[in-house]
Amino acid sequence: MAHGTRKRPLPTVLGVTALAAVTALAAAPPSPAAEHTAADSVTVSPDPVNAQQRFEGWGTSLVWFANVTGGYPDEIRNELAELLFGADGLALNIARYNIGGGNAPDVKDYLRAGGAVQGWWRAPEGTTREDTEWWDPANPAHWKGDADKPQRWWVDRIKSRIDHWETFSNSPPWFMTKSGYVSGGFDANEDQLKPDSVDDFTAYLAGATRRLEKAHGIKVKTLDPFNEPNTDYWSTRLGPDGQPVGGRQEGAHMGPGLQSQVIRSLAPALRKYTSRTKISAMDETNPTKFAENWNSYPDDVRRLVDQLNVHTYGTGGRTTARDLAKAAGKPLWMSEVEGEWDPDGQDFEDMRSGLGLAQHMVDDLRELEPTAWVFWQPVEDYNNMKPGGESARGGNWGSIQLPFDCTAEDTLKTCPIRTNTKFDTARNFTHHIRPGDRLITVDEPSSAAALDADGKGATVVHVNSTGAERSVTVDLSKFASVGPDATVTPVVTSADGALERQDPVRVTDRRATVTVPAESVTSLVVEGVSGRR
Protein backbone atom coordinates (compact mmCIF):
# COMPACT_ATOMS: atom_id res chain seq x y z
CA MET A 1 0.00 0.00 0.00
CA ALA A 2 1.37 3.40 -0.88
CA HIS A 3 1.95 5.59 2.15
CA GLY A 4 -1.05 7.84 2.75
CA THR A 5 -3.42 5.89 0.50
CA ARG A 6 -6.87 5.58 2.04
CA LYS A 7 -9.40 2.84 1.45
CA ARG A 8 -13.11 3.23 1.95
CA PRO A 9 -14.38 1.36 5.00
CA LEU A 10 -16.07 -1.98 4.76
CA PRO A 11 -19.44 -2.55 6.49
CA THR A 12 -20.25 -3.45 10.10
CA VAL A 13 -19.35 -3.95 13.96
CA LEU A 14 -18.12 -1.95 17.00
CA GLY A 15 -16.00 0.90 18.32
CA VAL A 16 -14.15 2.25 21.38
CA THR A 17 -10.46 1.98 22.19
CA ALA A 18 -7.63 3.36 24.21
CA LEU A 19 -8.89 5.05 27.31
CA ALA A 20 -12.56 4.25 27.15
CA ALA A 21 -13.40 6.56 29.99
CA VAL A 22 -12.18 9.62 28.13
CA THR A 23 -13.64 9.30 24.67
CA ALA A 24 -15.58 12.48 25.39
CA LEU A 25 -12.46 14.24 24.12
CA ALA A 26 -13.39 13.36 20.57
CA ALA A 27 -15.27 16.56 19.91
CA ALA A 28 -15.39 17.33 16.21
CA PRO A 29 -14.41 20.75 14.87
CA PRO A 30 -17.24 22.98 13.66
CA SER A 31 -18.60 21.95 10.29
CA PRO A 32 -17.45 23.88 7.23
CA ALA A 33 -20.96 25.24 6.79
CA ALA A 34 -20.95 26.64 10.31
CA GLU A 35 -17.62 28.38 9.72
CA HIS A 36 -18.25 29.60 6.20
CA THR A 37 -18.31 33.19 7.40
CA ALA A 38 -14.89 32.94 9.03
CA ALA A 39 -12.28 35.51 8.00
CA ASP A 40 -10.76 34.63 4.62
CA SER A 41 -7.35 36.08 5.47
CA VAL A 42 -5.00 35.86 8.44
CA THR A 43 -1.53 37.09 9.30
CA VAL A 44 0.86 34.81 11.14
CA SER A 45 3.88 36.33 12.90
CA PRO A 46 6.31 33.73 14.26
CA ASP A 47 8.51 35.17 16.99
CA PRO A 48 11.94 33.57 17.58
CA VAL A 49 12.53 35.65 20.72
CA ASN A 50 10.76 33.08 22.89
CA ALA A 51 12.37 29.95 21.43
CA GLN A 52 11.82 27.00 23.76
CA GLN A 53 14.25 24.23 24.69
CA ARG A 54 15.05 21.75 21.97
CA PHE A 55 12.11 19.64 20.83
CA GLU A 56 12.80 15.91 21.31
CA GLY A 57 10.36 14.77 18.67
CA TRP A 58 7.26 12.70 18.08
CA GLY A 59 6.37 9.31 19.47
CA THR A 60 3.92 6.59 20.34
CA SER A 61 3.18 4.04 22.99
CA LEU A 62 3.58 0.50 21.66
CA VAL A 63 1.15 -1.34 23.96
CA TRP A 64 -1.88 -2.99 22.39
CA PHE A 65 -1.15 -2.62 18.69
CA ALA A 66 2.40 -3.92 19.18
CA ASN A 67 1.16 -6.76 21.38
CA VAL A 68 -1.14 -7.83 18.55
CA THR A 69 0.89 -7.14 15.44
CA GLY A 70 4.34 -8.17 16.68
CA GLY A 71 3.41 -11.72 15.74
CA TYR A 72 1.92 -10.86 12.33
CA PRO A 73 3.51 -11.97 9.05
CA ASP A 74 6.55 -9.91 8.03
CA GLU A 75 4.76 -8.33 5.08
CA ILE A 76 2.17 -6.76 7.36
CA ARG A 77 4.22 -5.79 10.39
CA ASN A 78 7.07 -4.35 8.34
CA GLU A 79 4.71 -2.20 6.31
CA LEU A 80 3.14 -1.01 9.55
CA ALA A 81 6.56 -0.18 10.98
CA GLU A 82 7.36 1.96 7.95
CA LEU A 83 4.07 3.82 8.25
CA LEU A 84 4.87 4.66 11.86
CA PHE A 85 8.63 5.12 11.97
CA GLY A 86 9.71 5.41 8.33
CA ALA A 87 10.74 8.71 6.78
CA ASP A 88 7.71 8.71 4.48
CA GLY A 89 5.36 7.68 7.29
CA LEU A 90 4.86 9.45 10.60
CA ALA A 91 8.65 9.50 11.11
CA LEU A 92 8.34 8.90 14.86
CA ASN A 93 11.53 8.86 16.94
CA ILE A 94 10.19 8.22 20.48
CA ALA A 95 8.70 4.95 21.76
CA ARG A 96 7.04 4.06 25.05
CA TYR A 97 7.25 0.40 26.03
CA ASN A 98 4.43 -0.89 28.24
CA ILE A 99 5.53 -3.11 31.14
CA GLY A 100 2.50 -5.35 31.42
CA GLY A 101 1.02 -6.21 34.79
CA GLY A 102 -0.72 -9.45 33.93
CA ASN A 103 -3.60 -11.34 35.52
CA ALA A 104 -3.25 -14.63 37.37
CA PRO A 105 -2.69 -17.76 35.23
CA ASP A 106 -6.15 -19.11 36.06
CA VAL A 107 -8.00 -15.94 34.98
CA LYS A 108 -9.50 -16.22 31.52
CA ASP A 109 -8.55 -13.24 29.37
CA TYR A 110 -11.37 -10.69 29.36
CA LEU A 111 -9.46 -7.61 28.19
CA ARG A 112 -9.86 -5.94 24.79
CA ALA A 113 -7.86 -7.15 21.81
CA GLY A 114 -4.21 -6.49 22.56
CA GLY A 115 -4.92 -5.33 26.11
CA ALA A 116 -3.50 -8.38 27.87
CA VAL A 117 0.18 -7.41 27.71
CA GLN A 118 2.19 -10.22 29.28
CA GLY A 119 3.91 -9.51 32.58
CA TRP A 120 7.60 -10.16 33.28
CA TRP A 121 6.92 -12.46 36.23
CA ARG A 122 7.02 -16.26 36.11
CA ALA A 123 4.59 -17.87 38.56
CA PRO A 124 5.26 -21.30 40.06
CA GLU A 125 3.29 -24.19 38.59
CA GLY A 126 -0.28 -24.24 39.86
CA THR A 127 -0.42 -20.60 40.96
CA THR A 128 -3.96 -19.19 41.08
CA ARG A 129 -5.46 -15.77 41.70
CA GLU A 130 -5.58 -16.62 45.40
CA ASP A 131 -1.79 -16.97 45.57
CA THR A 132 -0.40 -13.50 46.10
CA GLU A 133 2.61 -13.86 48.39
CA TRP A 134 4.97 -15.93 46.23
CA TRP A 135 6.91 -13.32 44.24
CA ASP A 136 10.49 -12.48 45.19
CA PRO A 137 12.24 -9.97 42.90
CA ALA A 138 15.62 -11.37 44.01
CA ASN A 139 14.71 -14.86 42.75
CA PRO A 140 15.72 -15.26 39.09
CA ALA A 141 13.16 -18.06 38.72
CA HIS A 142 10.37 -15.54 39.32
CA TRP A 143 11.34 -13.50 36.24
CA LYS A 144 10.24 -14.43 32.72
CA GLY A 145 13.12 -13.28 30.56
CA ASP A 146 11.35 -14.10 27.30
CA ALA A 147 8.12 -12.35 28.25
CA ASP A 148 6.07 -10.24 25.88
CA LYS A 149 7.59 -11.38 22.60
CA PRO A 150 5.18 -9.52 20.27
CA GLN A 151 5.79 -6.06 21.75
CA ARG A 152 9.49 -6.82 21.90
CA TRP A 153 9.59 -7.67 18.18
CA TRP A 154 8.80 -4.01 17.73
CA VAL A 155 11.65 -2.99 20.02
CA ASP A 156 14.15 -4.77 17.78
CA ARG A 157 12.49 -3.59 14.57
CA ILE A 158 12.57 0.12 15.40
CA LYS A 159 15.44 0.58 17.85
CA SER A 160 17.75 2.13 15.25
CA ARG A 161 15.20 4.92 14.76
CA ILE A 162 14.44 5.69 18.41
CA ASP A 163 16.14 8.53 20.26
CA HIS A 164 14.24 8.20 23.53
CA TRP A 165 12.87 5.00 25.02
CA GLU A 166 10.43 5.25 27.90
CA THR A 167 8.92 2.39 29.88
CA PHE A 168 5.60 2.81 31.65
CA SER A 169 3.02 0.86 33.63
CA ASN A 170 -0.76 0.78 33.44
CA SER A 171 -1.17 -1.57 36.40
CA PRO A 172 0.92 -3.58 38.84
CA PRO A 173 0.75 -7.38 38.43
CA TRP A 174 -2.38 -8.95 39.87
CA PHE A 175 -0.64 -10.18 43.03
CA MET A 176 0.26 -6.63 44.03
CA THR A 177 -3.28 -5.26 43.66
CA LYS A 178 -6.07 -5.06 46.22
CA SER A 179 -8.69 -6.45 43.85
CA GLY A 180 -6.49 -9.23 42.46
CA TYR A 181 -7.09 -8.02 38.89
CA VAL A 182 -5.15 -5.67 36.63
CA SER A 183 -8.24 -3.91 35.27
CA GLY A 184 -8.69 -1.92 38.47
CA GLY A 185 -10.29 -2.08 41.86
CA PHE A 186 -13.84 -2.98 42.77
CA ASP A 187 -14.04 0.67 43.86
CA ALA A 188 -12.51 2.80 41.10
CA ASN A 189 -11.73 5.59 43.58
CA GLU A 190 -9.73 3.41 45.98
CA ASP A 191 -5.97 2.94 45.70
CA GLN A 192 -5.30 -0.32 43.91
CA LEU A 193 -1.66 -1.00 44.81
CA LYS A 194 -1.38 -2.79 48.16
CA PRO A 195 0.60 -0.71 50.69
CA ASP A 196 2.98 -3.58 51.44
CA SER A 197 3.66 -4.10 47.72
CA VAL A 198 5.10 -0.66 46.94
CA ASP A 199 8.72 -1.84 47.05
CA ASP A 200 7.88 -5.00 45.11
CA PHE A 201 6.16 -2.90 42.45
CA THR A 202 9.11 -0.58 41.95
CA ALA A 203 11.52 -3.54 41.94
CA TYR A 204 9.35 -5.08 39.24
CA LEU A 205 9.40 -1.94 37.09
CA ALA A 206 13.12 -1.34 37.52
CA GLY A 207 13.94 -5.02 36.98
CA ALA A 208 11.84 -5.29 33.82
CA THR A 209 13.34 -2.09 32.44
CA ARG A 210 16.89 -3.30 33.03
CA ARG A 211 16.15 -6.68 31.48
CA LEU A 212 14.63 -4.96 28.44
CA GLU A 213 17.76 -2.83 28.05
CA LYS A 214 20.14 -5.77 28.26
CA ALA A 215 18.12 -8.06 26.00
CA HIS A 216 17.76 -5.52 23.20
CA GLY A 217 20.84 -3.35 23.54
CA ILE A 218 18.89 -0.16 24.18
CA LYS A 219 19.00 2.56 26.83
CA VAL A 220 15.73 3.45 28.51
CA LYS A 221 15.94 7.14 29.41
CA THR A 222 12.77 7.45 31.48
CA LEU A 223 10.30 5.28 33.38
CA ASP A 224 6.78 6.39 34.32
CA PRO A 225 5.17 4.11 36.94
CA PHE A 226 1.66 5.50 36.43
CA ASN A 227 -1.06 5.99 33.84
CA GLU A 228 -3.93 8.36 34.63
CA PRO A 229 -3.64 7.29 38.26
CA ASN A 230 -5.83 9.79 40.10
CA THR A 231 -9.03 9.04 38.18
CA ASP A 232 -12.08 6.81 38.49
CA TYR A 233 -11.52 5.13 35.14
CA TRP A 234 -10.17 1.80 36.35
CA SER A 235 -12.56 -0.75 37.83
CA THR A 236 -13.28 -4.47 37.78
CA ARG A 237 -16.70 -6.07 38.12
CA LEU A 238 -17.32 -9.75 38.71
CA GLY A 239 -20.20 -11.69 37.20
CA PRO A 240 -22.47 -14.15 39.02
CA ASP A 241 -19.91 -16.89 38.36
CA GLY A 242 -17.16 -14.89 40.03
CA GLN A 243 -15.38 -14.22 36.75
CA PRO A 244 -14.40 -10.64 35.80
CA VAL A 245 -16.72 -8.94 33.33
CA GLY A 246 -15.98 -5.28 33.92
CA GLY A 247 -12.93 -3.38 32.78
CA ARG A 248 -11.36 -3.97 29.41
CA GLN A 249 -7.80 -2.76 29.95
CA GLU A 250 -5.12 -2.55 32.59
CA GLY A 251 -5.44 0.38 34.96
CA ALA A 252 -4.94 1.23 38.61
CA HIS A 253 -6.07 4.13 40.75
CA MET A 254 -3.27 5.67 42.82
CA GLY A 255 -3.90 8.94 44.60
CA PRO A 256 -1.18 11.58 45.05
CA GLY A 257 -0.11 10.19 48.43
CA LEU A 258 0.50 6.73 47.03
CA GLN A 259 2.16 8.22 43.96
CA SER A 260 4.67 9.89 46.25
CA GLN A 261 5.40 6.61 48.01
CA VAL A 262 6.01 4.89 44.69
CA ILE A 263 8.34 7.62 43.45
CA ARG A 264 10.34 7.54 46.68
CA SER A 265 10.70 3.76 46.33
CA LEU A 266 11.45 3.81 42.61
CA ALA A 267 14.54 6.02 42.85
CA PRO A 268 16.63 3.55 44.92
CA ALA A 269 15.20 0.62 42.94
CA LEU A 270 16.59 2.12 39.74
CA ARG A 271 19.96 2.72 41.42
CA LYS A 272 20.03 -0.88 42.65
CA TYR A 273 19.67 -2.15 39.10
CA THR A 274 22.56 0.14 38.06
CA SER A 275 20.21 1.75 35.58
CA ARG A 276 20.64 5.30 34.32
CA THR A 277 16.93 5.47 33.72
CA LYS A 278 15.30 8.56 35.22
CA ILE A 279 11.80 8.91 36.66
CA SER A 280 9.00 10.55 34.71
CA ALA A 281 5.55 11.23 36.14
CA MET A 282 2.67 11.04 36.23
CA ASP A 283 0.89 10.63 32.89
CA GLU A 284 -2.28 12.16 34.25
CA THR A 285 -5.37 12.37 32.07
CA ASN A 286 -5.39 16.17 31.67
CA PRO A 287 -3.33 19.22 32.68
CA THR A 288 -5.69 20.25 35.49
CA LYS A 289 -5.53 16.87 37.19
CA PHE A 290 -1.78 16.77 36.55
CA ALA A 291 -1.37 20.10 38.37
CA GLU A 292 -3.47 18.84 41.27
CA ASN A 293 -1.20 15.82 41.66
CA TRP A 294 2.06 17.69 41.18
CA ASN A 295 1.15 20.44 43.63
CA SER A 296 0.45 17.78 46.27
CA TYR A 297 3.90 16.20 45.96
CA PRO A 298 6.36 17.10 48.72
CA ASP A 299 9.54 18.84 47.60
CA ASP A 300 11.67 15.72 48.03
CA VAL A 301 9.37 13.78 45.68
CA ARG A 302 9.40 16.52 43.06
CA ARG A 303 13.19 16.48 43.08
CA LEU A 304 13.16 12.77 42.24
CA VAL A 305 11.11 13.34 39.06
CA ASP A 306 13.26 14.30 36.06
CA GLN A 307 10.53 14.58 33.42
CA LEU A 308 6.89 15.62 33.62
CA ASN A 309 4.31 13.71 31.56
CA VAL A 310 0.74 14.84 30.93
CA HIS A 311 -2.12 13.78 28.65
CA THR A 312 -4.47 16.22 26.98
CA TYR A 313 -7.76 14.33 27.03
CA GLY A 314 -8.93 17.48 28.76
CA THR A 315 -7.66 20.73 27.31
CA GLY A 316 -8.03 23.21 30.16
CA GLY A 317 -4.99 24.13 32.21
CA ARG A 318 -2.38 23.59 29.54
CA THR A 319 -0.57 26.81 30.42
CA THR A 320 -0.67 25.87 34.12
CA ALA A 321 1.12 22.58 33.42
CA ARG A 322 3.57 24.47 31.20
CA ASP A 323 4.35 26.99 33.94
CA LEU A 324 4.77 24.29 36.58
CA ALA A 325 7.32 22.52 34.37
CA LYS A 326 9.22 25.74 33.72
CA ALA A 327 9.23 26.64 37.39
CA ALA A 328 10.62 23.19 38.20
CA GLY A 329 13.16 23.36 35.38
CA LYS A 330 12.01 20.02 33.97
CA PRO A 331 11.10 18.88 30.45
CA LEU A 332 7.37 18.44 29.84
CA TRP A 333 5.94 15.81 27.50
CA MET A 334 2.49 15.61 26.04
CA SER A 335 2.77 11.88 26.53
CA GLU A 336 -0.59 10.61 25.30
CA VAL A 337 -3.73 11.59 23.43
CA GLU A 338 -6.11 10.23 20.81
CA GLY A 339 -9.67 10.90 19.73
CA GLU A 340 -12.11 10.89 16.86
CA TRP A 341 -12.98 14.51 16.03
CA ASP A 342 -15.61 13.16 13.65
CA PRO A 343 -19.24 12.80 14.82
CA ASP A 344 -20.00 10.17 12.18
CA GLY A 345 -17.58 7.50 13.38
CA GLN A 346 -15.27 5.36 11.28
CA ASP A 347 -14.36 7.15 8.08
CA PHE A 348 -11.11 7.13 6.14
CA GLU A 349 -11.68 10.15 3.89
CA ASP A 350 -13.56 12.74 5.96
CA MET A 351 -11.23 15.69 6.57
CA ARG A 352 -12.88 16.52 9.90
CA SER A 353 -10.82 13.86 11.68
CA GLY A 354 -7.57 15.16 10.27
CA LEU A 355 -8.46 18.77 10.93
CA GLY A 356 -9.53 18.01 14.49
CA LEU A 357 -6.30 16.21 15.31
CA ALA A 358 -4.25 18.95 13.66
CA GLN A 359 -5.93 21.72 15.64
CA HIS A 360 -5.43 19.71 18.84
CA MET A 361 -1.74 19.37 18.01
CA VAL A 362 -1.53 23.11 17.31
CA ASP A 363 -3.16 23.91 20.65
CA ASP A 364 -0.86 21.52 22.51
CA LEU A 365 2.25 23.00 20.90
CA ARG A 366 1.13 26.59 21.47
CA GLU A 367 -0.21 26.33 25.02
CA LEU A 368 1.62 23.40 26.59
CA GLU A 369 4.97 23.99 24.84
CA PRO A 370 5.97 20.33 25.28
CA THR A 371 9.44 19.01 24.60
CA ALA A 372 7.85 15.95 22.95
CA TRP A 373 4.42 15.03 21.60
CA VAL A 374 3.39 11.38 21.81
CA PHE A 375 0.41 9.49 20.37
CA TRP A 376 -1.49 7.01 22.55
CA GLN A 377 -1.24 4.55 19.68
CA PRO A 378 -1.73 5.59 16.05
CA VAL A 379 -2.77 2.02 15.18
CA GLU A 380 -6.23 0.79 16.15
CA ASP A 381 -8.30 -2.32 15.61
CA TYR A 382 -10.32 -1.96 12.41
CA ASN A 383 -12.84 -4.52 13.66
CA ASN A 384 -13.33 -2.62 16.91
CA MET A 385 -13.91 0.58 14.97
CA LYS A 386 -16.48 -0.75 12.50
CA PRO A 387 -20.06 0.51 12.84
CA GLY A 388 -22.40 -1.65 14.87
CA GLY A 389 -22.01 -3.67 18.03
CA GLU A 390 -21.08 -1.46 20.98
CA SER A 391 -21.14 1.65 18.83
CA ALA A 392 -23.76 2.02 16.12
CA ARG A 393 -21.68 4.59 14.24
CA GLY A 394 -18.31 2.95 14.80
CA GLY A 395 -15.19 4.79 15.87
CA ASN A 396 -12.36 6.72 14.30
CA TRP A 397 -9.58 6.43 16.84
CA GLY A 398 -6.12 5.98 15.42
CA SER A 399 -4.55 7.29 12.24
CA ILE A 400 -4.06 3.74 10.99
CA GLN A 401 -6.42 0.81 11.30
CA LEU A 402 -6.08 -2.89 10.57
CA PRO A 403 -7.83 -5.97 11.95
CA PHE A 404 -6.46 -7.22 15.25
CA ASP A 405 -7.42 -10.82 14.44
CA CYS A 406 -5.18 -11.50 11.44
CA THR A 407 -3.41 -14.86 11.21
CA ALA A 408 -0.05 -16.21 10.07
CA GLU A 409 -1.61 -16.95 6.67
CA ASP A 410 -2.81 -13.40 6.05
CA THR A 411 -1.29 -10.90 3.65
CA LEU A 412 -1.72 -7.17 3.11
CA LYS A 413 -4.54 -8.07 0.76
CA THR A 414 -6.47 -10.14 3.29
CA CYS A 415 -5.39 -8.06 6.31
CA PRO A 416 -5.36 -4.55 4.80
CA ILE A 417 -3.88 -1.50 6.47
CA ARG A 418 -6.04 1.61 6.14
CA THR A 419 -5.08 5.19 6.95
CA ASN A 420 -7.49 8.03 7.61
CA THR A 421 -6.96 11.77 7.22
CA LYS A 422 -5.32 12.06 10.64
CA PHE A 423 -2.35 10.13 9.27
CA ASP A 424 -1.80 12.71 6.55
CA THR A 425 -2.37 15.86 8.62
CA ALA A 426 -0.13 14.56 11.42
CA ARG A 427 2.67 14.18 8.88
CA ASN A 428 2.50 17.92 8.23
CA PHE A 429 3.83 18.29 11.77
CA THR A 430 6.15 15.29 12.08
CA HIS A 431 7.86 15.89 8.73
CA HIS A 432 8.50 19.59 9.25
CA ILE A 433 8.96 20.17 12.99
CA ARG A 434 11.85 17.86 13.70
CA PRO A 435 13.95 16.81 16.70
CA GLY A 436 16.30 19.63 17.65
CA ASP A 437 13.97 22.37 16.43
CA ARG A 438 12.65 24.89 18.96
CA LEU A 439 9.01 25.80 19.35
CA ILE A 440 8.44 29.55 19.05
CA THR A 441 5.56 31.86 19.78
CA VAL A 442 3.03 32.59 17.06
CA ASP A 443 0.14 35.01 17.46
CA GLU A 444 -2.50 33.22 15.35
CA PRO A 445 -4.55 30.47 17.07
CA SER A 446 -4.72 28.13 14.09
CA SER A 447 -0.96 28.02 13.72
CA ALA A 448 2.05 26.55 15.51
CA ALA A 449 5.64 27.38 14.69
CA ALA A 450 9.18 26.17 15.27
CA LEU A 451 12.67 27.46 14.60
CA ASP A 452 14.93 25.08 12.67
CA ALA A 453 17.65 23.35 14.69
CA ASP A 454 20.38 25.28 12.86
CA GLY A 455 18.58 28.60 13.38
CA LYS A 456 18.47 29.32 9.65
CA GLY A 457 14.82 28.68 8.92
CA ALA A 458 11.44 28.04 10.46
CA THR A 459 8.19 26.16 9.95
CA VAL A 460 4.63 27.29 10.52
CA VAL A 461 1.88 24.66 10.48
CA HIS A 462 -1.49 26.25 9.75
CA VAL A 463 -4.93 24.65 10.04
CA ASN A 464 -7.81 25.98 7.92
CA SER A 465 -10.92 24.20 9.17
CA THR A 466 -13.30 26.44 7.25
CA GLY A 467 -15.19 25.68 4.07
CA ALA A 468 -13.43 28.45 2.15
CA GLU A 469 -9.89 28.96 0.93
CA ARG A 470 -7.82 31.36 3.02
CA SER A 471 -5.09 33.89 2.37
CA VAL A 472 -2.26 33.42 4.88
CA THR A 473 0.39 36.10 5.21
CA VAL A 474 3.57 35.04 6.98
CA ASP A 475 5.06 38.10 8.65
CA LEU A 476 8.79 37.57 9.27
CA SER A 477 9.51 41.01 10.70
CA LYS A 478 10.52 39.59 14.10
CA PHE A 479 13.54 37.80 12.63
CA ALA A 480 16.82 39.73 12.72
CA SER A 481 17.86 38.60 9.26
CA VAL A 482 15.60 37.99 6.27
CA GLY A 483 17.79 37.18 3.29
CA PRO A 484 17.16 38.51 -0.21
CA ASP A 485 16.39 34.99 -1.39
CA ALA A 486 14.10 34.10 1.53
CA THR A 487 11.09 31.99 0.56
CA VAL A 488 8.00 30.36 2.05
CA THR A 489 7.08 26.97 0.58
CA PRO A 490 3.56 25.60 1.26
CA VAL A 491 3.18 21.84 1.76
CA VAL A 492 -0.55 21.16 1.67
CA THR A 493 -2.75 18.32 2.90
CA SER A 494 -6.41 18.48 1.92
CA ALA A 495 -9.08 16.25 0.44
CA ASP A 496 -7.23 16.59 -2.86
CA GLY A 497 -3.93 15.13 -1.67
CA ALA A 498 -1.38 14.72 1.08
CA LEU A 499 1.81 16.71 1.62
CA GLU A 500 1.68 18.35 -1.79
CA ARG A 501 4.65 20.67 -2.10
CA GLN A 502 3.85 23.86 -3.98
CA ASP A 503 6.11 26.43 -5.58
CA PRO A 504 8.09 28.61 -3.18
CA VAL A 505 6.79 32.13 -2.64
CA ARG A 506 9.45 34.83 -2.47
CA VAL A 507 9.50 36.99 0.66
CA THR A 508 9.02 40.69 -0.07
CA ASP A 509 9.27 43.39 2.60
CA ARG A 510 9.60 40.59 5.17
CA ARG A 511 6.27 39.09 4.16
CA ALA A 512 4.98 36.31 1.96
CA THR A 513 1.35 35.52 1.23
CA VAL A 514 -0.02 32.15 0.18
CA THR A 515 -3.52 30.85 -0.42
CA VAL A 516 -4.43 27.62 1.36
CA PRO A 517 -7.40 25.43 0.39
CA ALA A 518 -10.57 24.96 2.39
CA GLU A 519 -10.34 22.20 5.01
CA SER A 520 -6.58 21.91 4.83
CA VAL A 521 -3.43 21.68 6.92
CA THR A 522 -0.42 23.45 5.46
CA SER A 523 3.21 23.43 6.51
CA LEU A 524 4.76 26.75 5.57
CA VAL A 525 8.48 26.06 5.26
CA VAL A 526 10.47 29.27 5.70
CA GLU A 527 14.02 29.46 4.36
CA GLY A 528 16.51 32.29 4.49
CA VAL A 529 15.72 33.77 7.92
CA SER A 530 17.67 33.76 11.18
CA GLY A 531 18.18 35.50 14.48
CA ARG A 532 15.78 37.59 16.50
CA ARG A 533 15.24 41.32 16.67
The pLDDT tens digits of the residues spanning 133-178 come to: 999 999 999 999 999 999 999 999 999 999 999 999 999 999 999 9
In a domain, 77, yes or no: yes
Tell whether 12 is covered by a domain: no
Percent over 70 (pLDDT), the chain: 92
What's the CA gap between 258 and 419, in Å, rounded?
41
Q: What is the pLDDT of residues 461-481, one digit of tens each?
A: 999 999 999 999 999 999 999
Would you call 431 helix, strand, or coil by DSSP? coil
The bridge status of strand 41-44 relative to strand 57-61 is: unpaired
Q: Is 2 a residue whose pLDDT tops 50?
A: no
Q: What integer pLDDT is reported at residue 430 of this predicted model?
A: 98
- 511-516 and 379-381 as β-strands: parallel, antiparallel, unpaired? unpaired
Region 494-505: mean pLDDT is 98
Question: Any idea which of 220-229, 270-279, 365-374 has the lowest mean pLDDT?
Answer: 270-279
- For residues 263 and 249, give the distance between their C-alpha atoms in angstroms, rounded to a whole number: 23
**pLDDT of 343 over the 90 cut:** no
Type of residue found at 201? F
* Average pLDDT of the residues in 498-502: 98
- Domain range spanning residue 301? 55-436
Q: Is 432 a domain residue? A: yes
Query: What is residue 391's predicted lDDT score, i.e. its pLDDT?
Result: 66
Q: What integer pLDDT is reported at residue 21 of this predicted model?
A: 33
Answer yes or no: is pLDDT of 191 > 90: yes
- Here the CATH number for the domain that contains residue 114 is 3.20.20.80
> Which pLDDT score, from 0 to 100, does residue 16 have?
30
Decide if 408 is inside a domain.
yes
Counting DSSP H helices and E strands in the chain, the numbers are: 11, 21
Whether residue 86 is predicted with pLDDT greater than 80 in this model: the reply is yes
407-418 CB burial, b ≥16 within 10 A, e <16: eeebeeeebbbb
Is the residue at 513 inside a domain? no
The reply to whether 166 falls in a domain is yes
Q: How many CB atoms lie within 10 A of CB 294?
A: 23
> Within 10-118, where are the H helices?
63-69, 74-85
Residue 8 lies in a domain: no
> Is the per-residue pLDDT at 192 higher than 70?
yes
- How sure is the predictor about 33, in pLDDT bands with cuts at 50, 70 and 90? very low
Strand, helix or coil for residue 513: strand
CA neighbours closer than 13 Å in the CB half-sphere of residue 170: 32
pLDDT of residue 390: 59
Task: Note every long-range contact of 505-512, with CB atoms under 8 Å and residues 24 or more positions apart, other chains counting.
Answer: 507/474, 507/476, 507/482, 510/475, 510/476, 510/477, 510/479, 510/482, 511/473, 511/474, 511/475, 511/476, 511/477, 512/473, 512/474, 512/476, 512/486, 512/487, 512/488
Question: Is 21 part of a structural domain of the chain?
Answer: no
Under the banding of pLDDT at 50, 70 and 90, the label for residue 361 is very high
Which residues lie below 8 Å from residue 195, measured CB to CB, with a gap of 6+? none
Count of domains observed in the chain: 1
Angle at 126 between CA 123 and CA 130, to 5 degrees: 80
∠ CA 209-210-211, rounded to 5°: 90
Rounded CA gap, 390 and 259, in Å? 34
* pLDDT confidence of residue 120: 98
CA distances from 390 to 20, 65, 342, 399 (A): 12, 20, 17, 21
**Percentage of the residues of the chain whose pLDDT score is greater than 90:** 89
pLDDT at 26 over 90: no
pLDDT of residue 247: 77
Give the chain's mean pLDDT.
92
